[in-house]
Structure 1
């Protein structure tokens, strides 16, 4: 941080004045390199909306976890299992498929009897059929507002919204409050009035409670019980308020014997609000309706509105797996893979559902669209070999179809992986892209984006075996075609054994043949593009050009010191040019500043050739090889002589 020896204030006494000044030096920050996007079908989650997750547990909460119908779930699981840290998931379904579970709440207050509030699961899917909602009027304004609680199928409370209003002008308007705060449901007002409470609600009690020493009959579901509400010999002082009556009634109901395996009576809740009581069975089974029978119950006002303890959502259906057009999506509507245009940081793209497509043209259609998106957004696409490639010969024959979509923003990996399915405990085949993305993330973290994500360090964790056990000869035939092979090596296990882009076939002779070279360039391009945003609208003169050279060179020098470039000096590793040669007077007049950046990337050592020469040794008289200290001469042929 620069400091000035002269204060901005006028000196008043002899001495040294020190003033801190903000730094004018700008820097280029290092961006992410391995944030991976997964696009496809999941059990639940928002449709066509990118969601960032940082663990598989978070993926389970947001997207429902593993499903036999979802290749994405397994790919995300393998990604985090192999070292991935951040994923962006986009749920895609077939257009028009999938319905949200819902329930419509009614109101019988006053003289009305109509639908007032529609509750829907926030996302389509069968998962929504497990949601339950409960309503009560236990608020500070029990005549106007209500509370809404959301439970899951196991009866666990998931969300709660208090003091909701059906008045559109209120700041507690139910659709607005629930829509902003819930991750499970959304509500819509469909009529006037507020929804009835759950369970059985009494009529309003007067200022003086009626005689409570009565025998009551209560029925929950198909189980009927009798009890005495108030026994002066056992229950102490007689209740004198509605709240005390509620506590007494709750204690009596909970003491009744339950049916086998039920919790209806034992978990009963009685709530007092205003001058009323609300009685709810202690379960989330909508059939456990609390009914008080007989004249005594009627005298106490307990034969009023009778509802289930919870209102279950129904009608939810999973969407069908997306087709090619669904995956590609619409750029205008930001659907399918085009939804990634809403995300700033995505480095890798995985589409594991393509491996199961029967038609090669469907695969190529999606890969072509994804490749164009990747070129525009500086993303690298990981392509799974089709599942029908059951051997090296099939792969050699099938790779010719990819000639139409070859590019340096994608890499193809073969064969598939054998892993234990956590849902069944059995071995089955999976496309490798999710695990490959995890290996890339791990390699980037340990070595850097310039290190090829391949070799003995690129081990595939959790993989039992490969669907095709490739030999050296078969690998030697596929590698020059731009196919990245996966191998199972002795003492190492399954590893990634290729680092070429789809443009890396020998016949194409591309300068972007290698995955680490392409990804390093993408990383530098994105970092410079963002790090030089401050240049916009600055005066286009030599002072600006000098600052650009300084900032860009500083960033590249950091990468050079980390080993990203070849060369022993910075001059051999990179250059930055921004001056009168790159930016002419015409460019200045048009508001253009041109920056030229050159790098010398480190290419992977794909072929390691070791020359071995056999030496003829001589035995000493003792029968042992002579030691180096005993040799007198070393001749030009490379042999030692005694």
Structure 2
């Protein structure tokens, strides 16, 4: 009967929310170049298939020859090594978007007699793409329709059969490759159209130049606004920028993430630096340009890796694979465990073989090594940051701090607008103690009893009489389970500036 649905199974698809979980420490953010996709807008992906859907497949060409960017391979290495979630910010230089003109004529129901077929994002990726549109007049089966077929080089084709003319531009928003943009007023209603008609268009005019320093700095600022990522990589930075511009972007990244106390940058030696002397000198420019706390936010891994490619193998930076290993160990053991001595998966060889004396020089310069060992394959050989300060030297130490800061923010954040009082102090101490007890029970902290593992102080010593009632200071001391210095955090709750975490 009319109005009744036939029995059976109905499938519906609802858009997935970002599902951000700020307490996680295994989520990475990648800033780099990709084949297509939104520029300067973060996209959350949970698998390699998500990456391909949003940004297209890797091209397999050599870097600098269009589509041969390192970031897609780094993302694939991240997921193949156990990573579960990543954010991606596509970085792009001056670029034009490929397009073609569609002169449909006065077909009633279309948004305009002339439309532009425009690629969904800028770059050369859509050049040569073909769009075939077939119009069919109304029949006993229904009103007039168009069918659209889109083929883009290197991508699977898209087919949209039997689309009604009204709302055609909105329906084509489901395409990964193109959009319809009306150019002019709609045709008059009621005009008879042909029985059938076909149009074939070729997209062109897309350009893609290497990004400049400001494009990367914009991406650095954007990732800082994301609460979820705890790991950062810039796989294409060493290819896109050289010398001072490269160093300044790295230092800008470290200055941006250092006050957050919740994320680690994993860097790659620029591929143009072929010799160990050049790599050591490059590491020296970074360590000379920042203080110990700043350098504690970054670790460098070298050499790169050779990974499978449709043309055989290609060299890629190691950062994506290393982040995948860190994420895998995070899920298996927890954040306060070093990635050193862990096996790298889905890579076939090192990009460069380094004799032991050269490896020792890199290690002394603060560069962590990737080595190929007999019987185990490719192994991460090092878990240190660029900092020489014992308080900031070890990756495990830093990531324990990141975990605690994230957990404490979640516990203390809702209390920001409360007035300083004994009740507020007790509530804050209880909330932070609960977080630290969980860390102690998981084995992340030292000591046989909780009082040996941590201390939370929020008394009159830190909040003397006469202090601004809108400000509350709490001091937290933590003893990591591995032999390291104590971690000392100072929390300041202020109604005018929210929650501030200071590492003493």
TM range (shorter): 0.7 to 0.9
Q: Aligned ranges for residues 83-94 of structure 1 at < 5 Å?
A: 83-94=82-93
Cα pair distance change 1:115/1:538, threshold 3 Å: same
Structure-2 change in CA distance of 1:186 and 1:58 (3 Å):
same
Q: Deviations over 1:272-312 (max 9, x none)?
A: xxxx8744xxxxxxxxxxxxxxxxxxxxxxxxxxx42x443
Secondary structure of the 2:122 match is coil
8 Å Cα contact 2:22/2:228 also seen in 1: no
Higher alpha-carbon deviation: 336-345 or 180-189? 180-189
Question: What is the 5 A alignment of 1:625-640?
Answer: none
**Aligned: 1:500 with 2:380:** no
TM-fit CA distance, 1:380: 1.2
**Partner residue in 2 for 1:62:** 54
State the aligned residue count.
444
Partner residue, 1:361: 244
Q: Deviations over 1:199-244 (max 9, x none)?
A: xxxx96xxxxxxxxxxxxxxxxxxxxxxxxxxxxxxxxxxxxxxxx
**Taking structure 1 as reference, are residues 161 and 538 closer, same or farther at Cα in structure 2, changes over 3 Å only?**
farther
Displacement of 1:99 = 1.8
d(CA) in 1 for partners of 2:182, 2:273: 54
| Alpha-carbon offset, residue 148 of structure 1 | 5.7
Unaligned stretches of 5+ in structure 2?
A: 1-20, 62-67, 485-504
Task: Indicate if the aligned counterparts of 2:407 and 2:435 stay in contact, CA closer than 8 A.
Answer: no
Change (3 A) 1:64 1:182: closer
d(CA) in 1 for partners of 2:57, 2:241: 26
- Indicate yes or no: 2:400 matched with 1:513: no
Partners of 1:328 and 1:338 within 8 A in 2: yes
Q: In the alignment, does 2:371 pair up with 1:487?
A: yes
1:414, CA displacement in angstroms? 1.5
Q: CA deviation at 1:419?
A: 2.7
Equivalent positions of 1:329-478 (< 5 A) are 329=218, 336-356=219-239, 359-377=242-260, 378-406=262-290, 407-420=295-308, 422-426=309-313, 428-455=314-341, 458-470=342-354, 473-478=357-362
With normalisation by structure 1, the TM-score equals 0.63
The secondary structure found in structure 1 opposite 2:220 is helix
Deviation at 1:318, TM superposition (A): 4.3
**Aligned-partner SS, 1:108:** coil
Q: Which residue of 2 aligns with 1:79?
A: 78
The C-alpha deviation readout for 1:158-197, integer Å capped at 9, x for no partner, is 45795554xxxxxx5x65x35865544333332222499x
Q: 2:496 maps to what in 1? A: none
Q: Give the alignment partner of residue 480 of structure 2, picking from 596, 601, 608.
A: 601
Contact 1:135 1:146 (8 Å CA) reproduced: no
Query: Which residue, out of 409, 412, 421, partners 1:541?
Result: 421
Deviation for aligned residue 1:473: 4.8
Superposed displacement of residue 81, structure 1? 1.5
Does 1:99 pair with 2:92? Answer: no
Residue deviations 1:405-437, cap 9 Å, x none? Answer: 4411111112122333x12014x3221111111
Q: How many angstroms apart in 2 are the aligned matches of 1:585 and 1:31?
A: 34
Report whether the alignment pairs 1:187 with 2:66: no
Distance 1:30 1:579, change over 3 A: farther
Is the 2:315–2:351 contact (alpha carbons within 8 Å) kept by the matching residues of 1? Answer: yes
Q: How has the CA–CA distance of structure 1 residues 585 and 516 changed in structure 2, closer, same or farther, with 3 Å as cutoff?
A: same
Structure 1 unpaired stretches of 5+:
1-28, 166-171, 197-202, 205-275, 280-306, 330-335, 606-642
Deviation at 1:579, TM superposition (A): 3.0
**Residue 26 of structure 2: aligned partner:** 34
CA separation of 1:398/1:93 partners in 2, compared to 1, >3 Å: closer, same or farther? closer
Q: 1:32 to 1:518 in 2, by over 3 A?
A: same
Q: How far apart, in 2, do the equivalents of 1:372 and 1:582 lie?
A: 28
Contact 2:22 2:229 in 1 (8 A): no
Select the residue among 312, 321, 325 that pairs with 2:210.
Answer: 321
Indicate the residue corresponding to 1:550 in structure 2.
Answer: 430
Kept in 1, the 8 Å contact 2:136–2:146? The answer is no
Tell me what 1:294 maps to: none
| TM-score (norm. length: structure 2) | 0.78
In the alignment, structure 1 residue 152 sits paired with structure 2 residue 41: no
